[in-house]
Amino acid sequence: MAKTKTNTEDYLRMYRQMVRIRAFEDQANQLYLSAKMPGLTHMYSGQEAIAVGICEALTVEDRITSTHRGHGHCVAKGAEFKQMFCELLGKAEGYCRGKGGSMHIADQANGNLGANAIVGGSMGIATGAALTSKRMGKDFVAVCFFGDGATAQGLWYEVMNMAALWKLPVIYVCENNGYSEYTRTDEVVAGSLTARAEAFGIEAHKIDGQDVLAVNKIANELVARARKGEGPFFIELETYRYHGHHVGDINRDYYRTKEEEAEWKNVRDPITNFGKWLESEGITSAEELVTMNDEIRADAEAAVKYALDAPYPDASEVDAHVFVGVEHGLSYLDGAVT
Amino acid sequence: MAKTKTNTEDYLRMYRQMVRIRAFEDQANQLYLSAKMPGLTHMYSGQEAIAVGICEALTVEDRITSTHRGHGHCVAKGAEFKQMFCELLGKAEGYCRGKGGSMHIADQANGNLGANAIVGGSMGIATGAALTSKRMGKDFVAVCFFGDGATAQGLWYEVMNMAALWKLPVIYVCENNGYSEYTRTDEVVAGSLTARAEAFGIEAHKIDGQDVLAVNKIANELVARARKGEGPFFIELETYRYHGHHVGDINRDYYRTKEEEAEWKNVRDPITNFGKWLESEGITSAEELVTMNDEIRADAEAAVKYALDAPYPDASEVDAHVFVGVEHGLSYLDGAVT
Amino acid sequence: MSREITLSKAVNEALAEEMRRDERVFIIGEDVAEAGTPFKILSGLVEEFGTDRVIDTPIAEPGFMGLAVGAAMTGMRPVVDLMFGDFLFLIMDQLCNQAAKAHYMSGGKLSVPLVVRTNLGATRRSAAQHSQSLHALVAHIPGLKIAMPSSAYEAKGLLKTAIRDNNPVVIFEDKLMYQDKAFVPAEEYLLPFGKAKVLREGTDITLIATSSMRQVCEKAANMLSDDGISAEVIDPRTIVPLDEQGLLASVKKTSRAIVVDEGHQNYGITGEIASRLTEKAFYHLDAPVVRMGAMSVPVPFSPALEDLTVPSAVKVADMALRLCAGETIHAL
Amino acid sequence: MSREITLSKAVNEALAEEMRRDERVFIIGEDVAEAGTPFKILSGLVEEFGTDRVIDTPIAEPGFMGLAVGAAMTGMRPVVDLMFGDFLFLIMDQLCNQAAKAHYMSGGKLSVPLVVRTNLGATRRSAAQHSQSLHALVAHIPGLKIAMPSSAYEAKGLLKTAIRDNNPVVIFEDKLMYQDKAFVPAEEYLLPFGKAKVLREGTDITLIATSSMRQVCEKAANMLSDDGISAEVIDPRTIVPLDEQGLLASVKKTSRAIVVDEGHQNYGITGEIASRLTEKAFYHLDAPVVRMGAMSVPVPFSPALEDLTVPSAVKVADMALRLCAGETIHAL
Ligand SMILES: Cc1ncc(C[n+]2csc(CCOP(=O)(O)OP(=O)(O)O)c2C)c(N)n1
Ligand SMILES: Cc1ncc(C[n+]2csc(CCOP(=O)(O)OP(=O)(O)O)c2C)c(N)n1
Ligand SMILES: [Mg+2]
Ligand SMILES: [Mg+2]
């Protein structure tokens, strides 16, 4: 996926990808509100510039690990709406045959090693992928997405130490959206996040996570350097989640104000602001953007409809995929050769 | 245990305690070499100035947590030879009735919450003790001893974060003896240890661990400040272990040179150097020191003899202490009321 | 006087009562204060007891579990709030290598009076890392007591007992039962550990039901009575200690038993319970004790699959019918 | 051609052979390179394969376990060296929430071909945190395979099979057996998972022995033969998968069985194995299957106590005699 294309194309694709994420989440939220979605899910809306700015700097061979708030990463790394909605609804055509759902959506064909329902749970996985790249002489890099709350997990410090000692091509990307669940970040983070990475000898950057061009710029730079063996790196990005912690988190007044939410949505929205910039630069027109938005919304709606009508996995799949190469895990447990 | 005594007494007691640790370890090592000791044990010899310099700044109410290399901490916090040797030999009169042994020796009467055979395993315990002090309005502080290798455990970063957020009276004491088992510290520690603590907003100090006065000075200062609520703190102390990783680690050439060992023993020995200083200051004479050394060695030998003759715990104790308030854990498991 | 309250309310009451009674008791975990946990179980507690006793932590389970061990060793009585039972994997070292062993390793000098409150239960569409029932893991570790309340009544009585116990106790609440109501005395009460409760008397077969499986077995018993089968339903309440006498008395009476539990069946707790019954009631049994645990597969997200993995009333009733009909269940 | 080598050497050979065969195989853990582990098992490997494939880590078990999962997902085949089985508690999340579930959660897209090499076994005077036999914990987790070699021969053959398996496998070596020798073919061989091995034929009673308990049961069988009792000794070799057919064939023949294992008996693996046998051989059994696990207490340091906690040949032989004499073992 060598990058031989004009900036214009890059810019429009970044905009497009951000809109696709927003559209996906709007539909997912509707599915929940209309009681059509099994369980809960965590909306990425508001953080689009990060997933897109970073993943646009990656090739399909580059690996990412994602989080419980993972739809944005999944879309940005190249996933399709249909298989994603099928997964969220537990349908057989989902990326994980409906077995993983929103919190475990993975798309390894595009290098997405999966969302993770254990906060911080993928930090070792991303670092291990970087180990493979280095030991096997591949040139892919690994990007580990996680939230501000995940920095409390000791696992991060264990793997940063090894990544730094062994100069692994991994980039730790902290999406600091100001909250972990219902708790403000400053109540649970002592000192400085960038200093924590620097203490392991890891170069750290703090970036505005609402500015897709700024995110993409640092990503391009660090990904290139990581490929050359100059990694690991750490990026802290300041951002905000528009919805609640999950779709069911409706009344948020006890932990954050409506004003604060409005401020971010109205003044710092990554899509609106990037759209304005594209117009001001004459790269595109308001009309073109409206058309693009409408097309994408239509795509998303069509994908939802498709997923709602799609079949569930067959009951016989319940004990498939317990073990690689074993059709039915249960009979295998009894030593019955399969 | 208020400290109303002249410096001279302090100095002599510090010297005395260091010699007691050295004498204890020499006997323990002999027990191993003469095949009288069950299992293996880790010698503290060479690091005496740290345990003594720190513990001399503590009251009996102050708590410490110790490590697999814990004899020094145990002696320095006030333990007696007899019960210690009994414990190392698995005898009923041991501090833990022989059930813990060297790696789990505890002496809660003197505030020693125990050695730990899980590297880093006591970092949460020490921090939790500090939480008790603060929440229950006590004024004891907690000191957490651990080695350089233990800094790789994620648990440390998790508890430093909470200690810093809640200003807990805990002091993290890293005895950097240059090795973790058979690996040089610089091969497994990226960046800087003091910077790691500082990244959490924790004041950090790096001190010569072979200079008991320097250690005691910083300890007095930080303990006092921790009592006032100015903690937590971190101290990294440069030191060296004279023996192998454990008593069975005899051939060490493949990971460190005899020259290096000789250098530390001959030039930087904490006891020799402090003894010289005591003489030069006219606080004591060479003769007095020799007498003290002889007395202590005699004490240690007597304690060993006592422990060798002491009885093992009765077989009926094997399922005692499984549960508090239950005489026999096994029958209790079946719901039999005890 | 007794009133109907939810399991969630029962837990909240137990905590409030014990915190009023004993200032050493405190709660520590993620989003336990203002948020009152994602399940809203603790609502109101921080208002009454303040943030010093209802402590919000960073997302660091091994860390706050470790703090709890140290706090317990030095005189406090922590109640650790572990948001999902699946996170037990993160605290195993502090819970099993430290808390469970400290009293024994110190020859009785140290003790660790703490409670880990967590949950179990699938069919909530929460997928493989938020749906596990992992009580078998901790039940295996000497030094830990394990309670498994099966309704609001047990949840309150067992939690109060756990908080007063001088040992580490892990208590598993069924996260699908939080809104289920049961009669709970207005007066204070405690429930003893190691005493099973016969929930329904019967003569033909014994259904041993832990936690979430109580409702399943009670439903099954109703179905069975329509078929003229009298099933006894018994709840062990705690699996460590386990009330062998109580279970044996029932099994010796009925001569048939099914052990129903939501943990994975393979190497789960049903094997231990069935073995103990078989060893001590062998000559009273008309048929081998049958075990019905959750399917030994990671919990799937898809509703079409997830519901298949947990024992259901229909499946239990069917199995009981076959047993009572003298059918050999495990013919090879 | 066969020669006698130690279990330690057998493991070393298995690793060397597989690393030569497949460049994706590498070793990761603490002091595995120059030091060759505290047990000196890996001596010589770093010299042959270099520090890129025999990787010394910091003391960060959760961390390097996590790295191994990610490396396995992306095409390598890590062999994780976990110095003591007691440290399993530290890697449970990465092993059980991540490695064990990734293939299932991804609907078959991701796979995690890795091996965790660790150990079990008490009576080494290493106290409660260095003496545990924790295989029951991982055996309960769907997605993991569990091997328990009982001699150098099994250690080599099972480890080679484990390394070639495309799933996460945990293999427990008996740390007290590292210097014990056994006949091991000079030619390459693999041992299949899920196939038990009859170590000694017998007709009166079946002794099912895992790992360290093999020698105990073989000794017991010798003692028993002096008393005219013919004991069959059978080793499951892997407990996940478990060779039910093999064990049942033996038990149906002898009609009596004792399951002997070094894990704590309470909620350990003996309950599962005994239950499976009882369920499927009930009408062939003259007496309930007896379980002999390690005492359910933390492992004490004192030699006077520690030896009491593990099943011994004398105790097993005595139990077998009583069983064969028709004595009711668990009379209440
Ligand atoms: C180990 C673990 N602890 C707790 C949880 C419950 N939980 C899910 S998301 C979350 C907050 C995560 O905050 P952050 O890392 O900032 O990500 P964000 O939700 O803000 O994107 C918590 C506590 C979990 N899933 N895993
Ligand atoms: C969790 C854990 N991992 C590994 C070990 C094995 N081990 C015992 S001591 C040790 C080295 C510790 O090094 P350090 O912390 O520097 O202490 P030192 O031995 O130098 O005093 C190791 C790896 C252990 N006991 N616990
Ligand atoms: Mg956040
Ligand atoms: Mg060291």
Out of C103, C130, C135, C264, the active site residue is C130
- pLDDT band of A2, cuts 50, 70, 90: very low
Q: Would you call D61 a catalytic residue per the annotation?
A: yes
In the predicted model, is pLDDT for residue B205 greater than 90? yes
Could you tell me which residues come within 8 angstroms of residue A261 by beta carbon, excluding any fewer than 6 positions away?
A240, A242, A252
Residue among A331, D172, D66 nearest C297 (CA): A331
Q: How far is D28 from chain C (nearest CA, A)?
A: 21
pLDDT at site D2: 82
For atom 12 of ligand 2, the residue with the nearest CA is B180
Q: Which of A40, A106, A38 is nearest to C84 (CA)?
A: A40
Among B63, B159, B324, the residue with its CB nearest the CB of C67 is B159
Cα angle A98-A104-A107, degrees, rounded to a multiple of 5:
80
Cα–Cα distance, B72 to B105 (Å, whole number)? 11
Question: Is residue D188 flagged as an active site residue?
Answer: no
Can you tell me the mean pLDDT for A183-191?
97
What number does the ligand 1 atom closest to the CA of A120 have? 1
- Judged against a pLDDT cut of 90, whether residue C298 lies above it is answered with yes
Question: Judging by DSSP bridges, how do beta strands D115-120 and D77-81 pair with one another?
Answer: parallel
Would you call B104 and C105 a contact, using CB atoms and an 8 Å cutoff? Answer: yes
Q: Which residues contact D322 (CB under 8 A, 6 or more apart)?
A: D329
Average pLDDT, chain D: 97
Measure A1 CA to nearest chain D CA, in Å. Answer: 19
Of chain B, the percentage scoring pLDDT greater than 70 comes to 98
- Compute CA distances A335 → A258, B148, C269, D145, D169, whole Å: 59, 46, 21, 11, 15
Phi, psi of A209 (to 5 degrees): -75, 0
Strand partners, C115: C79, C169
Cα(B296) to centroid of ligand 4, in Å? 27
| For residue B3, pLDDT beyond 50 | no
- How far is Cα C268 from Cα D267, in angstroms, rounded to an integer? 7
Side-chain-facing half-sphere of B11: CA atoms under 13 Å: 15
Q: Is the pLDDT of residue B5 over 60?
A: no
Ligand 2 and B243: CB distance under 6 A: no
Share of chain A above pLDDT 70, in %: 98
Which chain D residues contact residue A65 at CB under 8 A? 70
Alpha helices in B228-334 (DSSP H): 258-267, 270-280, 286-309, 329-333
Residues 249-308 of C with CB under 8 A from A: 266, 295-298, 300-305, 308
Say what the alpha-carbon torsion angle C100, C105, C109, C112 is, to the nearest 10 degrees.
-10
Query: Over the stretch C194-240, which tens digit does the pLDDT of each residue have?
Result: 999 999 999 999 999 999 999 999 999 999 999 999 999 999 999 99
Q: Ligand 2 test: best mutation among B102, B181, B185, most atoms within 8 Å of CB?
A: B181
Q: Is residue C22 over pLDDT 80?
A: yes
Cβ-proximal residues to A35 (8 Å cutoff; 6+ apart), any chain: none
CB within 8 A of C240, min separation 6: which ones? Answer: B333, C139, C144, C145, C146, D266, D267
Q: Residue B335 pLDDT > 80, yes or no?
A: no
pLDDT in tens, B223-271: 999 999 999 999 999 999 999 999 999 999 999 999 999 999 999 999 9
The angle formed by the CA atoms of residues A87, A92 and A98, to the nearest 5 degrees, is: 35
* Closest residue by Cα to residue C220 from C238, C202, C246: C202
pLDDT > 90: percent of chain C: 97
The Cα B322–Cα D298 span in angstroms is: 7
Q: Which string of DSSP letters, residue by residue, matches C202-226?
A: -SSEEEEE-TTHHHHHHHHHHHHHH
Binding site membership of B165 for ligand 2 (Cβ less than 6 Å): no
Say what the pTM is.
Answer: 0.98
Residue B140 pLDDT > 80, yes or no?
Answer: yes
Instruction: Tell me how far apart the alpha carbons of residues C39 and B120 are, in angstroms, rounded to a whole number.
Output: 33
Instruction: Identify the burial level of D186 via C-beta atoms within 10 angstroms of its C-beta, where 0-12 means exposed, 13-18 middle and 19 or more buried.
Output: exposed
Q: Check residue D1 and give its pLDDT.
A: 73
- pLDDT, position A334: 79
Residue D260: CB atoms within 10 A of its CB come to 28
Q: Sorting pLDDT into bands at 50, 70 and 90, what band is A338?
A: very low
pLDDT interval class at A50 (50, 70, 90): very high
- With a CB cutoff of 8 Å and minimum separation 6, the contacts of C96 are C138, C141, C144, D89
* D97:A121 CB<8 A: yes
At residue B310's C-alpha, the angle toward residues B306 and B312, to 5°, is: 150
**Cα C8 to averaged position of ligand 3 atoms, centre (Å):** 27
Average pLDDT for C60-84 = 98
Q: How far is B59 from chain C (nearest CA, A)?
A: 15
Write the DSSP symbol of residue B214. H
Element (H, E) at C65: helix C61-73
Q: Nearest residue on chain A to B188, judged by CA atoms?
A: A165
Cα D35 to averaged position of ligand 2 atoms, centre (Å): 14
Ligand 2 atom nearest residue B177's Cα:
20
Q: What is the mean pLDDT of residues A46-66?
A: 98
What does the angle CA A321 – CA A326 – CA A327 come to, to the nearest 5 degrees? 75
Task: Report the pocket of ligand 1 as residue ranges, CB < 6 Å.
Answer: A 68-69, 117-119, 146-150, 177, 179-181, 245; C 30, 59, 61, 83, 87, 90
What confidence tier does B1 reach under pLDDT thresholds 50, 70, 90? very low
B3-17, D156-170, D283-297: least confidently modelled range: B3-17
Q: What counts of helices (H) and strands (E) characterise chain B?
A: 12, 7
Q: How far apart are CA A272 and CA B178, in angstroms?
A: 55
Of the candidates B94, B17, B26, the residue with the CA atom closest to the CA atom of residue B58? B17
Q: What percent of chain D has pLDDT over 70?
A: 99
The string of DSSP letters for A75-91 reads HHTT--HHHHHHHHTT-
B4 pLDDT more than 90: no
Tokens 């914990």 map to which residue? Answer: D137
The mean pLDDT of D25-48, rounded to a whole number, is 95
Sort B59 into a burial class: Cβ within 10 Å, 0-12 / 13-18 / 19+: middle
